[in-house]
Amino acid sequence: MNYWEDIEIGRNFETGEITVTAADIIDFATKFDPQPYHLDPAVAEHSIFGGHCASGWQICALMMRLLVDTMNRDGVRSVGSAEVESLRWHRPVFANDTLNAQICVTGRKPSTDYKQYGLIDCAIEVVNQSGEKVISLTTDMLIEREEEVTDE
């Protein structure tokens, strides 16, 4: 296990990889973002994106999957985040791109709301198979503590 107490500022978590297919892009877009450049590869070729690309929110969802798999691998238990700042979509994610992410711990503090969790601040970058940055964001996450805070 990696508890909140174990996670120091400057710690880097490197995720595994995930590949997004044309069918994945169409499935997500059909449910959540039914725009022609996500639904139809032929239309997308002639769009400003220049190819069949994933919804920006699908990229965030794929980032979350990379993050959850990494937390499970490394024994970190989180109950999520309350906020994101500076979410940037730097370039499209195209069908058959393979993504991975880096999570860098930039800050940490006890939670004022929960005795059993502590907060960490994170800067997250997702890159494609060519190492090009596709999204970046900062967030905080509630992480399980080894020892609950006790009242004095």
Site membership for a copy of itself, residue 132 (CB under 8 A):
no
Taking the C-alpha atoms of residue 110 and residue 7, their distance in angstroms, rounded to an integer, is 12
Among 3, 40, 41, 60, binds a copy of itself (CB under 8 A): 60
Total chain residues near a copy of itself (CB under 8 A): 33
Sketch the per residue contact string, 28 through 47, with a copy of itself: x for CB under 8 A, - otherwise.
x--xxxxx-x---------x
Q: In whole angstroms, how close is the CB of 145 to a copy of itself at the nearest point?
A: 13
Q: In whole angstroms, how close is the CB of 10 to a copy of itself at the nearest point?
A: 25
Site membership for a copy of itself, residue 3 (CB under 8 A):
no
Nearer to a copy of itself (CB atom), residue 7 or residue 58: 58
Eight-state DSSP code of residue 4: G
CA dihedral 55, 56, 61, 65 (to 10 degrees): 100
- What is each CA distance from 133 to 17, 29, 90, 95, 126, in whole angstroms? 14, 22, 6, 16, 6
Among 5, 21, 57, 147, binds a copy of itself (CB under 8 A): 57
Taking the C-alpha atoms of residue 58 and residue 60, their distance in angstroms, rounded to an integer, is 5
Residues 6+ apart with CB under 8 A from 150: 115
3 state DSSP class of 30:
helix
Q: In whole angstroms, how close is the CB of 108 to a copy of itself at the nearest point?
A: 19
Q: In whole angstroms, how close is the CB of 14 to a copy of itself at the nearest point?
A: 19
Cα of first residue to Cα of last residue in the chain, in angstroms, is 27
Q: Which residues bind a copy of itself (CB under 8 A)?
A: 28, 31-35, 37, 47-49, 55-58, 60-62, 64-65, 68, 78-89, 114
